[in-house]
A and B are shown apart, each in its own frame.
Chain A
Amino acid sequence: DTGVSQNPRHKITKRGQNVTFRCDPISEHNRLYWYRQTLGQGPEFLTYFQNEAQLEKSRLLSDRFSAERPKGSFSTLEIQRTEQGDSAMYLCASSFGTSPYYEQYFGPGTRLTVT
């Protein structure tokens, strides 16, 4: 399977703990996006990378959130000191090219539950 993969698929954590998610994009894709989706809502943009450079961050990405994409391949999204409001599905997507109009291919998501 050469699609976008995300790990873990599910994560349950206690409030105040740190969590890290991983996204492996389609191999030749140079752009990688992170979104958050809560129940009954559409995905909300968090941040995106072009190669290893993080070019844009949403206001939703508070100081507790950090994303990296070392070497322009896989990416990690870390949430520090989790809060119950962080419970959501975290989606990763990748695309090829320099234009934002190219199709984004989405992974299956990581569902985070903060208790």
Chain B
Amino acid sequence: GNSVTQMEGPVTLSEEAFLTINCTYTATGYPSLFWYVQYPGEGLQLLLKATKADDKGSNKGFEATYRKETTSFHLEKGSVQVSDSAVYFCALILTGNQFYFGTGTSLTVIP
């Protein structure tokens, strides 16, 4: 079947620390991969995406590379800010129209 596994949270970091949130997937075909972010009190927003192997998605200092050989799409940021505190969801979509989301990873950045 198709599924996404994310590292469990919550994650707490100090401002300017390096962030990695692990995401691995299982898919029956060749998925597109996404990271969505949910800030407190808001709806989910697309953070970045990659549609084929070796693509790198990037946005707002966040990056993730589509690794087919390790079936991974880990999210990274070199220096987190307090404003990055949110819940991050990894997701995949195949040629159908169903998104498969991970369980989410809560990030808190402290000053």
A residues neighboring B (CB under 8 Å): 3-4, 33, 35, 40-45, 48, 55-56, 58, 91, 93, 100-101, 103-109
Contact = CB atoms under 8 A, between A and B. Distances in A.
Interface stretch (B13-21, B60-68, B75-83, B95-103): B95-103
A42 B93 contact: no
A42 B91 contact: yes
Given A41-B104, A55-B97, A101 B32 contact: yes
Interface of B: 4, 32, 36, 41-46, 49, 51, 89, 91, 93, 95-104
A101 B96 CA distance: 10
B43 A100 contact: no
B59 to A, nearest CB: 11
B51 A101 contact: yes
Which of B44, B93, B95, B102: most chain A CB closer than 10 A? B44
**3 tightest A-B contacts by CB?**
A42-B101, A106-B43, A106-B44
A contact patch SS: loop
Which of B32, B41, B89, B99: most chain A CB closer than 10 A? B99
A43 B99 contact: yes
A105 B36 CA distance: 10
A25 to B, nearest CB: 12
